[in-house]
Structure 1
Amino acid sequence: MTSTLKSGEESVSVAIEDVEPRDWAEQVYRPDILGKMQTIYKKPGYDPL
């Protein structure tokens, strides 16, 4: 990621959270993907809804 962005590691943050598969659509897909489509550079190729 840092080489693609031509940026140092100090400029990139990554968070990982465990989510139960049954909770994915409501806890992640709706708020973080559908709710922020205008800011997502690489959009997902699936729709779990």
Structure 2
Amino acid sequence: MWLIFGVDLGSLYLVLESTKGRYVELPPFQDAMPEKQPDAPPSVVS
């Protein structure tokens, strides 16, 4: 079981990485509600 779980973890990591890259490219939830961004960097504010 641990072997299968390890393989799944590896595949999940790869999928997570590619998905993270896609979300960085086009985040629809951030475009929909930009006012919900309290952690906006100071460079964007100024």
Superposed pair shares fold, TM > 0.5 = no
Give 1 or 2 for the bigger CA radius of gyration. 2
Query: Which structure has more helix as a fraction of its residues?
Result: 2
Normalising by the smaller structure, the TM-score range is: under 0.3
Report 1 or 2 for greater relative contact order, CA contacts < 8 Å, sequence distance ≥ 6. Answer: 1
